[in-house]
Amino acid sequence: MEETQSLSVLSPEMQESFRKELVTMIADTLSELNQKSGNSREWLSKKEACQYLSCSNGTLDKYINEYELKVVVIEGIRRFKKSDLDEFYLKYQI
- 2: in domain: no
Amino acid at 19: R
Average pLDDT score over residue span 74-86: 94
* Residue 6 maps to a domain: no
Q: Does residue 60 contact residue 46 with C-beta atoms inside 8 Å?
A: yes
Evaluate whether residue 18 is within a structural domain. yes
Amino acid 1: pLDDT: 47
Quote the pTM value.
0.57
pLDDT computed for residue 15 by the predictor: 86
Least confident of 14-18, 30-34, 85-89: 30-34
The per-residue pLDDT for range 18-41, each reduced to its tens digit, is 888 887 787 777 767 766 665 567
Counting the structural domains of the chain, the total is 1
- DSSP letter string over 33-84? HHHHTT----EE-HHHHHHHHT--HHHHHHHHHHH----EEETTEEEEEHHH
The stretch 34-49 carries a mean pLDDT of 79
**What 8-state DSSP symbol labels residue 75?**
T
Q: Is residue 1 assigned to a domain?
A: no
